[in-house]
Structure 1
Amino acid sequence: MKKRYVCSNGLIFDMGMNNGDDTAYYLKKAARVVAVEANPGLASEARARFDGEIRSGRLSIHQLAIWNEYGRMPFHISRENSHWSSLESQWADRNGGGTEVVQVECVPLAHLFALHGVPYFLKIDVEGVDESVIDQLEPLPYIPAYISMEDCRFGFRYVEKLTALGYDGFKLSNQALVAELADEAVNHRFPAGSSGPLGEQVPGGWYEPAPFLHLYEQKVRSRDNERRSPTGVWWDIHARCGSPDKLI
């Protein structure tokens, strides 16, 4: 299948909305934002925070989880850190702090693309099931030109799969430094814990896959999963399709 990469429709997907700090930034960067958050408490707080944007039609919030099929599944809300909440129980309870379990609706990514359109930027931060989202892009003819995802110890596999999907440029974003960054074009400073800039605004140049994997091995972790980064440093991987003939 010959894929096309959407780059100019002014639509962003925030997959893993959490407290809404990323959504607040994306609303400054795009005409429309679609946010997904499985935690019912966080989704309710976000609806109150962004009431005006929802009523104007600029923001749609879906309280559900992304999975590879429709249905209901248990969602594990971490009592220690809301960012760890996941469909995967061990992921949510990684430090033994306990979880609260709720049942959530699950839909495939293609369902949201059919409802809203394919975004030009897709943030994937769905704790433990990120790879499922990448896999769901494989059969689709139209996919985002830009993607970001949390490293989550599987960066080599993520990059290999994204390369197979046609992404040819990669950046590493040091998430421990996000609070030092700003997007001056939209007068936005990034709160600590947010995902930070997107696409071309992420500091640094784009790497082709092989040089990027070498950089990843030097800065993040070895192929034997030996950690290279200091404690407290974590990373996001950004990918793009930079081939003009493939962009729409």
Structure 2
Amino acid sequence: MAALHPQEPDLILDLGMHEGRDTEYYLAKGFRVVAVEANTELAEKVGNTLKEHQESGALTIVNAAIADGEGEMTFYVNDHNPNFSSTDPTIAAKGQALREITVPRVNIADVVRRHGRPFYVKIDLEGADGTALDHLGQLPDLLHPSYISVEGLSDQNFRSLTRMGYNQFQFVNQRYHPNTREPFPALAGKFLNHKFKNSSSGMFGPELSGRWLDFPEAVRQRDRIMSYRERVRQEFKESPEAFPEGLPLFGWFDIHARRSN
């Protein structure tokens, strides 16, 4: 089995597939993948690149927007930087012109019921992260993933994870993914000696190198991160000449969560 223990599922949900880097990594590690991507052009492009995996049944690509309700909806594509494409035009714009497309809606609870309980769920949806967490929260505990990650350090994400019973957390800065290396022997799936890029979601689950924090510790660490960011932003605002290269790049944090054993 690809997962950590024989009783664990071998399925990963990649919610926000984008250009498929994470999906390709999960497949190479031996997992089955269901990837959700609202941008039709990206879904088709990755589908062509990974056609062999689709034909074998290892990969399923769902071209839809994660949203409540039924039927179709508008998705806003930022062609200048597709990373920002979103169901929310304010998030998608980032000062750039948008292109509207119409895509079906999908409820992630339905995806799990159809494909089975996942070992890990990655959520990176530019504004729809909370919706995906709410959908997962509709499921009984037996269908919740063993591990889950969601982009951003918002209170809403924290509350959603704790409501589902997740009580241990790590914060992972995507900025440092190129410096990380997989453990050997592998703790989930196959060992690849993979070199991560900044745009990837990096390692996951039992292969994370940090210490798992309980909820009070995680809240304190999250608050320290947010406080530091705000302090540097304020210093930059008051004395921009002290930062010759501009406002420092903080990177993007993902919350990783699991239940304690």
- Cα drift, residue 198 of structure 1: 0.6
* Whole-angstrom distance in 2 between the partners of 1:188 and 1:160: 33
* 1:87–1:129 contact (8 Å) kept in structure 2: yes
State the match for 2:20 in structure 1: 20
Distance 1:231 1:203, change over 3 A: same
2:213 is paired with a residue whose SS is coil
Offset at residue 195 of structure 1 (A)? 0.7
Structure 1 residue 139, shift from structure 2 partner: 2.5
Q: Structure 1: which 5+ residue stretches go unaligned?
A: 1-6, 244-248
Deviation by residue 1:153-176 (Cα, 9 ceiling, x = unmatched): x52221122112100110010111
Structure with the greater relative contact order (CA < 8 A, sep ≥ 6): 1 or 2? 1
SS in 2 for 1:22: helix
- Give the AA of the match of 1:196: G
C-alpha offsets along residues 87-128 of structure 1, whole Å, 9 cap, x if unaligned? 0010100x2111111001001112211221121100111110
Cα separation, 1, equivalents of 2:203 and 2:133: 21
* Pairing of 1:1-248 with structure 2 (within 5 A): 8-93=8-93, 95-141=94-140, 142-151=143-152, 154-183=153-182, 185-219=191-225, 221-222=226-227, 226=230, 230-243=248-261
- Other structure's SS at 1:237 match: strand
The Cα offsets for residues 165-220 of structure 1, whole Å up to 9 and x where unpaired, read as: 1001100101111122232522321122111001121221100011101001112x
| Offset of residue 11 of structure 1 | 0.4
DSSP-derived class of the 2:22 partner: helix
Is the contact made by 2:109 and 2:138 (CA closer than 8 Å) also made in structure 1? no
Q: CA deviation at 1:232?
A: 4.2
Distance in 2, matches of 1:30 and 1:131, equals 28
Which amino acid in the other structure matches residue 192 of structure 1? N
Q: CA contact under 8 A between 1:159 and 1:209: conserved in structure 2? A: no
Checking the alignment, whether the CA contact within 8 Å between 2:15 and 2:123 is kept in structure 1 is yes
Q: Would you say how many aligned residue pairs link Structure 1 and Structure 2? A: 232
Distance 1:181 1:83 in 2: 22
Identify unmatched segments of 5+ residues in structure 2.
1-6, 185-190, 234-247
Give the TM-score of the pair, scaled to structure 2.
0.84
CA-atom RMSD, angstroms?
Answer: 1.9
CA separation of 1:80/1:38 partners in 2, compared to 1, >3 Å: closer, same or farther? Answer: same
Contact 1:12 1:30 in 2 (8 A): no
> What letter is aligned with 1:210?
P
Q: Counterpart of 2:259 in structure 1: which amino acid?
A: C
Note the alpha carbon deviations across 1:58-97, whole angstroms, 9 max, x for none: 111111111122211100001231111000010100x211
Pairwise CA distance, 1:227: 6.6
Q: Using the alignment, how far apart are the partners of 2:230 and 2:73 within structure 1?
A: 33
Aligned-partner residue type, residue 57 of structure 2:
G
Q: How far apart, in 2, do the equivalents of 1:215 and 1:50 lie? A: 39
> Contact (CA 8 Å) 1:11, 1:30: kept in 2 or not?
no
- Structure 2: distance between partners of 1:16 and 1:84: 11
State the identity %: 36
Q: Is the 8 A contact 1:109 1:133 kept in 2?
A: yes
Q: Give the TM-score of the pair, scaled to structure 1.
A: 0.88
